[in-house]
Chains A and B, each alone.
Chain A
Amino acid sequence: MKFGALAAVQMVSFSLNPGEILGMIGPNGAGKTTLLNCVIGIHKPTSGRIFLNQIDITGMKPHKICRMGLAKTSQIMEPFMAMTVFENVLVGALHGGRMRMRLATEKTEKVIELVGLKQYAYKLSGSIPVPARRRLELARALASGANILLLDENMAGLNPHEIDEALEILKKIRNSGKSLIVIEHIMRVVMGISDRIIVLNYGSKIAEGFPEEVVNDESVIKAYLGDKLTSLKVA
């Protein structure tokens, strides 16, 4: 994916297996969000192809890709402010899930229960705290019935206790048979839930493998995790 002359993501290839949680890490500006935005159709990739169950979805419109079962939560949260939490999720069920009103209402109730947003259900989504908004993003994606969820820093800004709760929800989602790609900076989260991890730096993939392999990889440590402290001088 190029923006003008700037290549944001280049020569990256990866795959996601059914039921898998794939972690994606890398320094800021490495191209993680851009990569996922290409996958769900917000950006049209300048080269390369994307396949979903052997079907080429490169360059398809985002709403079509969503209806095919690929939903993403955004790092920059964009709730439909003037709507209640319930209605926000309802949009996902009605349009993403292509359901009729009655079915969509039931689905929405279920999803809200699952992510633990019941107490906020009838509040305006512009008026709820950040952790709840993060869950709302997740709920909206879930309501569309997607089998693959792409979570772009869905836990940014949460405190350790809230992270634990969010992890529980993710495990529940995984156990219901969905696959996930998780972009996250919090290593505890990535290490804890990922089956596999890929590492991006300057728009290229620099490592891929099991969590333990990746964190001990020389290039990953250099690019992202930081060198081990070898000497410290205090003048």
Chain B
Amino acid sequence: MNFKIDRIILIMFLGITAALAFLPNFVESEYLLRLITVVIFWIGIAGCWNMMSGYTGYIDFGPVVYFGIGSYVVAIAMTKYGIPFFPSLFISGVISGSVAFLVGIPTLRLKGAYFAIATFAFAEAMKQITLEFDRTFSVSFFQGSDGITLPISGHDNSFFFYCVLPVTFLVMLAHYFIEHSKFGYGLKAIKEAETAAEISGVNTTANKLGAYVSSAFFLGLFGAIEAYWITYITPSDVFNIQKTVQMVIMTLLGGMGTFLGPVIGATFLTLISESLGARFVEYYLIMIGGIIIVAILIMPNGIIGSLKIRKKLRFI
């Protein structure tokens, strides 16, 4: 137990976040600020997946559903009920979390591939429901494939920077908490050997559900922020499986079940696709695919995961 190093990392993390809070005052280029916001956005989202799947080992293949629910809740709350953005944002998180609670009770009993399939199926089902609900019941609620246009915010990039930063900060703070708490040791025990965890007194259902619900809560917030940011949502956009894949790949690349894994993975992947995308418009996806394959071959536990094993570090 090297609590000293952990404290140093925590202080560094708080320091960096505090420094980032002043960033928009110094960055003149709107493009750069937007890029940094996107990076922080993806760190947070990958972190949500890591919180659940990275620590418990339950591979969630439908986290995008909570992102999508967040988007739709904020859109409907703002357009249909005229609730301002910030209260709507909060409602999004709460509803995403509540849905996760209800869905988690049956699905978290499943193990391995079955859990992955169930979560994947739920995400696809939600997409179909939002697409077909209005036509089936002849109402105008989700507005099907027409999508919903949110009120134009008129806010600039720095507004969304300040929306994304605190949420990502909370996600990472939750990681730190997981790494150092009873709850986190329970999750890690479940990942290693669930039966052994159970007979050692870990309430596996409650712990898994806790991780699943908090992950969904934060995903709902991110979904809501993105919806307000791009102001137009459709079911196939917000429930897009590609978002799930991206979360998974970023976390795997950085290292599952590590504190810095999602940070490194999301930063690396976002920046590399941005820089390659600008230069090699037609081939960049192939190049990124190649880079991911090579990285996983060299470092099967992800960048941070491999470093952790090689240097025998406990917490990063």
> Which residues of A does B touch, CB under 8 Å?
40-42, 61-63, 66-67, 71-72, 74, 78-84, 86-87, 90-92, 94-98, 100-101, 104-105, 122, 140-141, 144
Contacts and interface: CB of A to CB of B under 8 A. Distances in A.
Contacts of A82: 188, 191-192
B193 A71 contact: no
Contact of B200 (A96, A105, A122): A96
Contacts of A95: 182, 185-186, 189, 197, 200-203
Using C-beta atoms within 8 Å of the partner chain, give the interface range for chain B.
20 to 34
B146 interface: no
B164 to A, nearest CB: 31
A78 B204 CA distance: 16
B185 to A, nearest CB: 5
B195 interface: yes
Nearest to B305: A82
Contacts of A84: 314
A67 B201 contact: yes
Contacts of B189: 80, 83, 91, 95
Interface of B: 1, 180-182, 185-186, 188-189, 191-193, 195-204, 314
A80 B189 CA distance: 6
A63 B182 contact: no
A41 B204 CA distance: 14
Given A40-B199, A86-B1, A140-B200, A94 B193 contact: no
A79 B196 CA distance: 8
Main secondary structure of the interface of B (DSSP, over half): helix
A87 B201 contact: no
Nearest to A73: B199
Nearest to B1: A86
B201 A80 contact: no
Nearest to B194: A78
Contact of A62 (B180, B192, B199): B199
24 contacts: A40-B199, A42-B195, A61-B198, A63-B198, A63-B201, A67-B201, A71-B201, A74-B196, A78-B192, A78-B195, A79-B192, A80-B188, A80-B192, A82-B192, A83-B192, A90-B185, A91-B197, A95-B182, A95-B186, A95-B200, A95-B201, A96-B200, A96-B202, A104-B182
Given A63-B200, A144-B200, 10 more contacts: A41-B199, A62-B195, A63-B204, A72-B199, A87-B185, A91-B202, A95-B182, A95-B197, A96-B200, A105-B1
